[in-house]
Chains A and B, each alone.
Chain A
Amino acid sequence: MSRFLVTPQVAAKIRQERIAHSVLALILVSILIPLLAIVAYLFWRAAPALSLDFLLSSPTLGMREGGVWPAFVGTLYLVTISLAVAAPLGILAAVYLTEYARENWFNKAINLAVLNLAGVPSIVHALFGLGAFVYGARIGFSVLSASLTLAIMTMPVIIASTRQALLSVPHSYREASWNLGASRWQTIRRIVLPNSISGILTGIILQVSRAAGETAPIMFTGAVFYKAIKPGTLFPYALDEQCMALSMHLYTLSTQTPGVDESIPNATAVLLLLLVFSVNSVAIAIRMLLRSRVR
């Protein structure tokens, strides 16, 4: 039976494997626990202030009481307008990169630019927005300037996601379409884009989530500490006006406003988290749906 004897080397090997396994699992747990604990703590501290009324009412008493409605609406504004700019640009840019571009130095430069655009610090985007839109194009401190800054900052998210989706459409689909006499653009519009719609949607959703949470780029281009809006109006801000935003509101509440009850900034943070999480969950759901369909 000597064949089944465990030699010391093999025993050491197995021991090493067990140690590695448990250390790695421990690392994962040690990352997840503080992250989840922080999120849970924010929810717990926010509980006293969280209500539908908190979402739907305006701040009062120098932001020490009341809700976040103007900031919430402002965030919706910024997200919608930046999406309206970034989505067509980003999707078409991805179409160019996958369907038209050849392997040459110029397209390498485009790829590098996309990577770098995603890596430019958010505060540098803010400086750019201030220099280019607020002063350069004389749009002034406004919803429009802030949205344009956000759009440029978040465009790489849409490009990356769309490009992946376009690449996953089999080349034979395109060839079949070309053989039927369809032009390049007809093929893209009728075959390639419809087949990658879920990837494009994912990109759009991730862009929304990024844009909703950003603070630095809007701080100096169009978001303000406080702006009263009429309750009950659906479109309270004009494009050339400044607006409030949830992310900015959280920053102001927690650093510039003395004497606020802690539950209010906590509730604002939780609202922002809920917004981002729910938006991202939609993206995850779309992806899972798609994968089960592929199977």
Chain B
Amino acid sequence: MQRRWHKLSEALIESVIRVCGFSAVIFVLGIFFFVCREAAPLWSEPSFHWTEFLFSIEWQPTSLHQKRYGVLAMIAGTLGITLLSMLIAVPLGVGAAIYISEFCSPRLREILKVLVELLAAIPSVVWGFAGLTIISRLIVRYTNADVGVNLLNGAILLALMSIPVIVSLSEDAFKAVPDSYREAALAMGATRWQTVWAVLLPAARNGLIGAVLLGFGRSIGETMAVLMATGHAINIPHSILDPVRTLTANIAAELGEAPAQSTHYQVLFLIGVLLFLITFSINLAAGYFIRKERHQ
């Protein structure tokens, strides 16, 4: 009797664990399903055109006469900000990771890693606030920009936010290279820099690509910092001092005002679907490179 009870409870617990294991898949599918579901009525909406959505720069969801739902300018804003931020963050982040993992003493390494971890924990709304109050003033003072909340501000913020992520993931990638590689290079008379350049960078390549891609995905999805610090102008930026609006900031700025189930509301969910698909494919690519690194 007791034995049967044991068997039964074991089976019960196992199935609970199994369900929890599947939950991540359920949640990802659930996110996609529910966001799509809210956007779905657009299929049969006469005032909505797919070509306009993807290729028009006109976004006038609240206009009385001529409503327009084009997100091209926001796609341009998102890409502009993320690419500029990556241009800043990747060399700095990978460089810092090389220093931390190969050049400094173990004691300093521990301190720096703790520092990087704390910096990575700073919430994005605090970054947005810093962009709004500190970086925007610096930009106005040192450039001839009229307003300090613009593409440059957002890119600096995203760079500062993604550097800790890139540093710690790149450091992992370097750590994954076996010490025997380093020993072999040193035994042949290579300096530490030569070891890094000729041995470690090629060996850690996949992990580094994965790290950069993950940082890229995070930057595209970042919301609060760009909402507060990029200036809300819906146009294709011509210089880095132009104010812009990103896809994420557009949802955050307008979702509160769009009446539920209106076309405006549904288009905001469609932008969510677009964001989901973009970040999903970037994460898939990052996962591919990270797995490849592990199998080596």
Contacts and interface: CB of A to CB of B under 8 A. Distances in A.
Chain A bound to chain B: yes
A124 interface: yes
Given A115-B283, A124-B221, A255 B100 contact: no
B214 A119 contact: yes
B103 A24 contact: yes
Interface residues of A, number: 89
A277 B118 contact: yes
Given A96-B22, A120-B221, 6 more contacts: A16-B191, A27-B96, A100-B14, A119-B279, A120-B28, A152-B27
Interface residues of B, number: 83
Interface string A208-223: 0110111110011000
Interface in B203-221: 214, 217-218, 220-221
Contact of B272 (A119, A127, A185, A272): A127
Interface in A251-287: 251, 254-255, 262, 265-266, 269, 272-273, 276-277, 280-281, 284
A112 interface: yes
Interface stretch (A31-39, A49-57, A167-175, A235-243): A31-39
Interface stretch (A59-67, A128-136, A226-234): A128-136
Contacts of A16: 191, 193-194
B146 interface: no
A121 B128 contact: no
A229 B220 CA distance: 37
A112 to B, nearest CB: 6
A144 interface: no
A110 B21 CA distance: 8
B21 A115 contact: no
Q: Which of B10, B119, B121, B260 has its CB near the most chain A CB atoms (within 10 A)?
A: B121
Given A24-B95, A119-B283, A215 B224 contact: yes
Contacts of B6: 183
6 smallest CB-CB distances across A and B, nearest first, come from A213-B123, A121-B221, A96-B21, A92-B20, A20-B193, A27-B95
Interface of B: 6, 10, 13-14, 16-18, 20-25, 27-28, 30-31, 34-35, 37-38, 91-93, 95-96, 98-100, 103, 112, 114-115, 117-119, 121-126, 128-130, 132-134, 160, 163, 167, 191-194, 196, 214, 217-218, 220-224, 228, 248, 251-252, 255-256, 260, 268-269, 272, 275-276, 279-280, 282-284, 286-287
A1 interface: no
A159 B20 CA distance: 11
Contacts of A120: 28, 31, 221, 276, 279-280
A248 B129 CA distance: 12
A180 interface: no
